Amino acid sequence: MKKIITALGNQYVNNKLKEYEEINVIVKDIQYKEGIIEILEQENNIDYIIISELLPGEIKIEDLINLIKEKNNKINIITILDKENKYLENKIKQQTKIFFNNQIKINELAELIINKNNKEELKEEIRKLNKIIEEKNIELKNKQNEKQIQEEIENKYIEKNKIIKFINNKKIEKNKEGKIIVISGLCGIGKSIFTVNLAKNLQKNKKKILIIDLDIFNNSIYTLFGIEKYRNKIEEYEKNKLNINEKIININKYIKILSGNDIIFSEININEKEFANIIEKEKKNYDAIIIDTTTELKMNYIKEIMKKSDKIIFLSEANILQIKKTNNYLNIYQNNWKINKEKINIIFNKTSTDSIDEEILKEIFKDYKIIGIINQIKYCNTLINNNMKNIFINNKVKKQYESIKKKIFLDERLKIYYFNKINQKKEAN
């Protein structure tokens, strides 16, 4: 956020700039030239100042600009001249951005400040990533052989038919309760499409799935399934209880959906902790409860259900702007919401050949589990417009979802068993 002051003799512009979240207008509009110097003597950490040539005062505008630069050479000055004045423009153009009255609008001023800020931050992010890339290039060469050996070991001893046989023989007791999986992530990243794809992938294994649409502002899930609308009528079950089953819509034998609006906005006034408890009780009826969420951080319902969840799947894109936003969200989940980071799994969606390299992503998010990278962006419109009927148009995407499903649902004890097997084989060799 950039700190700015205005000295236009016009409080209206000052008030309008305050409406932008990225701009911090620290004082009321300054009404005379000498007042600018007084403010700079008290506050030297200012990024921008917007000055009008017509501002009253004894100091000439060019002398005022020189004084401002003496106080703070890093400050960005925007000067609004009353009319063209080549002599004055030549004197000040090296130290200030010049506009004329009625030539620039308030929103354009705001964009000028915000976009410059974004460019500077982007340059810094690129510099940091380039440094990581340089360091990783050396490290990757050393790790390449080690990674190859590890993959050969895992492929040799962790085979699909062994896992299936092991489960069927009941050598490890299956978890009788289903998992609560919260799908989170950045705005427009494809959370709803991922939710439906994951549910349909589980359906192939005859898993009973309940999808809860907690994106109360968009409610995209029912559209993706081609359902006309959710049920709006709220009914009570006994005293002060909701009959959840009456709110659930059956998609098919295995998949059901429930609108979070039918619970949160019921006449019974259920708070966020009660909501989370209701969902937790439903675990016994399903193999998985998948919850599609909004990016709105003020939704305490999402915070509470995350605390009750077994896994949180956070979707992001593999570019530097989205990486920065992802870090901000994950910091809020951990530091403000006190979510256990062991629950958090990251998936990079909408990847392409221009995306940041997977090894770099692993280094940036080394404190978290990255469980998948999906390049489904070419097929999103086809999926949406056909109500998700053919979810795997591309074999590569199909394999990506299969891999993600295994990482989400493979019993932890089963993984321990097979990794013990690997270690035994390594010691024997």
CATH number of domain containing 288: 3.40.50.300
* Residue 145's pLDDT band (cuts 50, 70, 90): low
Domain at 12, CATH number = 3.40.50.2300
Specify the range with the lowest mean pLDDT, choosing from 73-82, 121-130, 276-285, 415-424.
415-424
Average pLDDT estimate for 106-122: 70
Q: Where are the alpha helices (DSSP H) in 282-411?
A: 300-308, 320-331, 358-364, 380-385, 395-409
Residues 403 and 301 both lie in one domain: yes
Residues 6+ positions from 211 with CB-CB distance below 8 Å: 195, 196, 199, 221, 255, 256, 257, 258, 289, 290, 291, 292
Q: If you write DSSP's letter for every residue of 150-162 in order, what string do you get?
A: HHHHHHHH--HHH
Residue whose entry in the numeric block shows the structure tokens 């962006």: 377
Q: For residue 95, what are the domain limits?
A: 2-114
Integer Cα distance of 264 and 254 in angstroms: 25
What pLDDT, on a 0 to 100 scale, did the predictor assign at position 358? 86
pLDDT tens digits along 277-301: 989 989 889 999 999 998 887 778 8
- Helix locations, 57-190, DSSP H: 61-71, 86-92, 106-157, 160-168
User: What percent of the chain is predicted at pLDDT more than 90?
Assistant: 19
CA dist., res. 425 & res. 257, Å (int): 46
Domain count of the fold of the chain:
2
Provide the whole-model pTM: 0.55
Q: Which long-range contacts (CB under 8 A, 24 or more apart) does 409-413 make?
A: 409/179, 409/202, 409/288, 410/163, 411/167, 411/172, 411/174, 411/175, 413/172
- Residues 309 and 232 grouped into a single domain: yes
Shared domain for 83 and 210, answered yes or no, is no
pLDDT (0 to 100) of residue 173:
45
**278 CA to centre of own chain:** 26
Burial class, 124, CB count within 10 angstroms (exposed 0-12 / middle 13-18 / buried 19+): exposed
Considering the domain architecture, whether residues 342 and 199 belong to the same structural domain is answered as: yes
Residue 291 belongs to some domain of the structure: yes
Query: What gap in Å lies between CA 170 and CA 191, rounded to an integer?
Result: 35
Of 70, 64, 60, the residue nearest 50 (C-alpha)? 64
CA 383 – CA 196 distance, rounded (Å):
10
Domain check: are 368 and 285 in the same one?
Answer: yes
Nearest-10 Cα torsion for 178, 182, 188, 189: -70
Q: Across the beta sheet with 369-373, what order do the strands follow?
A: 249-250, 255-259, 209-214, 288-293, 179-185, 311-316, 344-348, 369-373
Checking if the pLDDT of 239 tops 60, the result is no
Residue 241 pLDDT grade (very low, low, confident, very high; cuts 50, 70, 90): low
pLDDT score, position 316? 92
Q: Return the pLDDT at 103.
A: 73
Domain contains 420 = no
Q: Which residues contact 368 (CB under 8 A, 6 or more apart)?
A: 330, 341, 344, 345, 346
Cross-strand pairs, 348: 316, 373
Predicted confidence at residue 325, as pLDDT, reads 92
What region, left, alpha or beta, does residue 370 occupy, with left being phi > 0 and alpha being psi -120 to 50 degrees? beta
Higher-pLDDT residue of 111 and 171 is 111
Q: Which amino acid is at 108?
A: E
Q: How confident is the model at residue 327 (pLDDT cuts 50, 70, 90)?
A: very high
Token pair listed for 345: 């799994």
Per-residue pLDDT at 314: 95
Return mean pLDDT, the chain.
79
Same domain, 225 and 309: yes
Mean pLDDT throughout 414-419? 53
